[in-house]
Amino acid sequence: MEIAGYIAALLIGLTLGLVGGGGSILTVPILVYLFQVSPVLATSYSLFIVGITSLVGSVNSFANKKVDITTVVVFGTLSIVTVFCIRHYLIPHLPSFISIAGYQMPVSLLTMLLFASLMIVSSFSMIKDDKEKNRSVVHKAGAGTIALYGITVGLVTGLLGAGGGFLLIPALTVLLRLPIKKAIGTSLVIITLNSLIGFADDVTHHQMNWPLLFKITGISVIGVLIGSVIGQKIDGSFLKKGFGWFVLLMGTYILLHELIGLFSL
């Protein structure tokens, strides 16, 4: 199972390098199902893996002048603050069980149900044709809309350990009118900051399996380097769509698997 996990880790980095997001959505399921890490701890591990992998991709984006610094500061600030608040004030105080409609649901089960739902939603954003990508935006997004997106990305990263690239790329291209290549680079920087700031607070609450983290992260970093090189030469839209179908299948499987576990309680 670990071999399959390491192969999947390469896919995480490859997808981040190619399309600036999407790959991190697999990190928590990989940790939970292939490395037997508890779901809540897996969200913490995911922050480190995704953060370091995105950092390496960010360096390459900076070198190629594909990062909009102003957007990182303005758009990223709200998401970073949200991530910190979630990881510092909410996650450490979650009970083992949460009462929902009279049922005592384990937080670990709820985490995986939410994650599966997030995978399914994100898969649609990867599968759909980007027909609007090259059209002129007929209206400028208001400050409230941009702020809402920043907070939403922070919530996704803080609660579930996912980078939120599948939300960032549409926001940066449509709301802020960034070219797709610059949106990918900018997305990687914001994901890096969100993830590593969230993980920095988690270190004080969890005992980390550093050898496992370093191995998975190292393989993922190799993937992002390969993806960054390939992304300079080909259009990643076809690969993005294929990966979206894979995420949809995985998300559906996890949702059904966890629902069976819920009804068997």
Structural domain that includes position 232? 2-263
- pLDDT value for 135: 42
CA distance 33 to 254: 10
CA distance 196 to 48: 6
Q: Report the number of distinct structural domains present in the chain.
A: 1
Average pLDDT per run of 10 along the chain, which is 265 residues long?
Answer: 84 74 74 87 88 85 85 82 86 80 78 82 73 44 73 81 70 76 84 87 83 92 83 66 77 85 68
pTM score of the predicted model? 0.75
How do residues 38-52 score in pLDDT, each as one tens digit? 888 888 898 899 889
How do residues 172-197 score in pLDDT, each as one tens digit? 777 777 887 788 788 888 888 888 88
- pLDDT value for 89: 85
